[in-house]
A and B are shown apart, each in its own frame.
Chain A
Amino acid sequence: MLVTDDQIQALEKQAEATRETVIKMLVEAGSGHTAGPLGMADILTAFYFHILQHRPDEPLWEGRDRFILSNGHICPVLYATLAHAGYFPVEECLTLRKFGSRLQGHPERARLPGLETTSGPLGEGLAQAAGIAYAFRMDEKKQRVFCAMSDGEQEEGNTWEAVMFAGKNKLHNLTAIMDRNNIQIDGMTEDVMPLEPLADKYRAFNWHVLEVNGHDIMAFIQAIEEARAVYEKPTLIIAHTIPGKGVPEIEFDYHWHGKPPTKEEGKRFLKEIRTMSGKLPHEYA
């Protein structure tokens, strides 16, 4: 999976467009989560525009890789990414959380093509991804299974049941990505319930562990490539991300975990994203 500088630039531009869509969605919805979706925009862009084998016009294509979003509350960025990738019209993103919308407040598989699972209650995605990976191996299917999860949901017992299961069964076709943004609703993870040393914990459960800057798309793609080459173990990529990435005034602030921007804030945030915080001129800024 070679990736050129031009491709990286295009992916970065796409991630910016996705962030803009996320801000617009949240302002329009009037509720929802802001920090996590902005923090994962680069990684989701890398997945849907470079890494995954998938067909937006044929969401149930048998040969597709599976991307499982475990922490369903960051779904605005999944919806925005799916829309930009061609699964449904980008305009539909503005129906987020509204009555009758396919874009539920937390993702419901049966409502929206492109979703692999129903998620929101934390700690359940990795086990479902492990189940899919296990079944794929039974059937000698070659697709890969990816699971994006949060750091906060490492506090759930269900997560560790899956960690043990995947380690025991050497599910090399499973790659988990942990959004290590260090925040959760009640504060910083290390204050609420210390998680470190996360890498050592996963290694102790027979996982291969990598750590990357979650905003360095090139590095992330290389980590995914390395995971492909690890044949005896599942891989965890700890992606260090900045919650609220792209909008400096909210970056790292856990208060933005679970609230949307107001209209005024939304305008300001969009300007910050479009100008990279004043570093670039932007015709619409």
Chain B
Amino acid sequence: MLNQAAHLSEKTFADDIPQAATRDGFGTGVIEAGKQDERVVVLCADLKESTRAEEFEKQFPDRFVEVGVAEQGMATIASGMAAAGKVPFIASYAAFSPGRNYEQIRTTIALNRMPVKICGMHAGVSVGPDGATHQMLEDIGMMRMLPGMTVIAPGDAEEARKAVVAAAKTDGPVYIRFGRAATPLFTTTQTPFSIGKALALFESEDPRVAILSTGSLSYAALEAAHALSNDGIGSLVLHVPTIKPLDTEAVIDAAKRVGRIVTVEEHQVAGGFGSAVAECLGEHHPVPLMRLGVADQFGQSGTPDELLTHYGLNATHIEEVVRAMLKK
């Protein structure tokens, strides 16, 4: 059953659950952050509409900086603005930022300890028809390797809003990944969020598997848990929006209590969220583990649903994996 403390949407399992893209949460969150702190500025590399930075520009024209198609420039100019006391959010597609400007982020933001907030849009295969070049599947791995970098993949637009507001209040650099496609809004304004904290979304009385998920696929994890529950198979769904620093306490606790773990993410299996969980459990509490993600492949054109289905990133496949795991 749903964890009451998570205050999830009453429509969580309804067919007409409202949807929004996590990037929409960037748009609302960064305006909120901008109202709270006048040091907040937004830099954009010729993608203000699709990154949802446009509304910020309308509200705070003097604090919006258009750098043109120049992601390396965007990261380094933001580093300079942070050095001069600003709290810069840089928004582009994840394939280009951090995809193209990784070294600039590494040197002038991470090593240089500048509180720049890197916002990577259009992450994952759910970008859809744009195809593999624009479907960033390596960003979590790249960013979680950087010392001092916080890495967040919000579960829905509401949580994305909270993550952006929270990121503005931290002293360090933060990477937040957002998706293009509209996904179910399963959290509410009351749902707790704090950086570094995992949140149980669903827990049966006698869970036999723990599904640990990050990003908007946490909704697929919830759907899978719901279907399994209807079939008498208990599970725990632990939503882990912050991949770094990982909530190791919650992850280890899930492993200890449940004994079997499935991880779910819209990212390469290598190096991402599942890897972070495997590293943690391998050292502290090894249990049987299955990691769902994109298995050493690039994406391709298609609709988000077609692609998520093709790469096994939906509730049906999660359910199959859980059933197969329980048979072993």
Cβ contacts under 8 Å, A161 to chain B: 67-68, 70, 72-73, 76
Is A131's CB under 8 angstroms from B83's CB?
A: yes
Check: A135 CB closer than 8 A to any chain B CB.
yes
27 contacts between A and B (CB under 8 A): A109-B113, A110-B111, A110-B112, A116-B83, A117-B80, A117-B83, A118-B112, A120-B107, A121-B103, A123-B72, A124-B108, A127-B76, A128-B76, A128-B79, A128-B80, A131-B77, A131-B82, A134-B65, A134-B81, A139-B84, A157-B72, A158-B72, A161-B67, A162-B76, A164-B68, A164-B73, A165-B67
Assembly CA distance A141 to B83 (angstroms) = 14
Check: B85 CB closer than 8 A to any chain A CB.
yes
Check: B283 CB closer than 8 A to any chain A CB.
no
Assembly CA distance A108 to B84 (angstroms) = 17
* List of 7 A-B pairs having minimum Cβ-Cβ separation, nearest first: A131-B80, A161-B73, A127-B76, A135-B84, A128-B80, A161-B70, A131-B77
Cβ contacts under 8 Å, A202 to chain B: none
Check: B15 CB closer than 8 A to any chain A CB.
no
Is B113's CB under 8 angstroms from A131's CB?
A: no
Check: A227 CB closer than 8 A to any chain B CB.
no
Is A135's CB under 8 angstroms from B73's CB?
A: no
Cβ contacts under 8 Å, B161 to chain A: none
Assembly CA distance A119 to B79 (angstroms) = 12
Cβ contacts under 8 Å, B76 to chain A: 124, 127-128, 131, 158, 161-162
Report B295-325 residues with CB < 8 Å from chain A CB: none
Assembly CA distance A120 to B85 (angstroms) = 23
Check: B218 CB closer than 8 A to any chain A CB.
no
Check: A130 CB closer than 8 A to any chain B CB.
yes
Cβ contacts under 8 Å, A157 to chain B: 72
Is B84's CB under 8 angstroms from A131's CB?
A: yes
Is A132's CB under 8 angstroms from B104's CB?
A: no
Is A128's CB under 8 angstroms from B83's CB?
A: yes
Assembly CA distance A66 to B78 (angstroms) = 16
* CB nearest to A62 among chain B residues: B85
* CB nearest to B67 among chain A residues: A165
Check: A78 CB closer than 8 A to any chain B CB.
no
Is B78's CB under 8 angstroms from A131's CB?
A: yes
Assembly CA distance A66 to B104 (angstroms) = 20
Chain A interface mostly helix, strand, loop or mixed? helix
Cβ contacts under 8 Å, A121 to chain B: 103-104, 107
Is A132's CB under 8 angstroms from B83's CB?
A: yes
The interface size of chain A toward B, counting residues with CB under 8 Å, comes to 32
Chain B interface mostly helix, strand, loop or mixed? helix
The interface size of chain B toward A, counting residues with CB under 8 Å, comes to 27
Please, what's the 1-or-0 string for B84-117, where 1 marks a CB less than 8 Å from any CB in chain A?
1110000000000000000110011001110000
Question: How near does chain A come to B28, taking the closest CB pair, in angstroms?
Answer: 24
Check: A129 CB closer than 8 A to any chain B CB.
yes
Check: A2 CB closer than 8 A to any chain B CB.
no
* CB nearest to B74 among chain A residues: A161
Is A131's CB under 8 angstroms from B104's CB?
A: no
Question: How near does chain B come to A117, taking the closest CB pair, in angstroms?
Answer: 6
Check: B10 CB closer than 8 A to any chain A CB.
no
Please, what's the 1-or-0 string for A121-164, where 1 marks a CB less than 8 Å from any CB in chain B?
10110011111111110110100000000000000011001101
Assembly CA distance A72 to B41 (angstroms) = 28
* CB nearest to B101 among chain A residues: A158
Known pairs A134-B81, A135-B86, A165-B77; A128 contacts B108 (CB<8 A): yes
Assembly CA distance A135 to B84 (angstroms) = 6
Assembly CA distance A164 to B72 (angstroms) = 13
Assembly CA distance A271 to B121 (angstroms) = 59
Please, what's the 1-or-0 string for A70-91, where 1 marks a CB less than 8 Å from any CB in chain B?
0000000000000000000000
Cβ contacts under 8 Å, B16 to chain A: none
Known pairs A158-B73, A161-B72, A165-B73; A131 contacts B81 (CB<8 A): yes
Assembly CA distance A157 to B72 (angstroms) = 8
Assembly CA distance A66 to B67 (angstroms) = 22
Assembly CA distance A208 to B277 (angstroms) = 54
* Cβ 8 A contact of A110, one of B63, B70, B113: B113
Question: How near does chain B come to A277, taking the closest CB pair, in angstroms?
Answer: 39
Assembly CA distance A130 to B77 (angstroms) = 6
Most chain A beta-carbon neighbours within 10 Å: one of B41, B65, B67, B80: B80
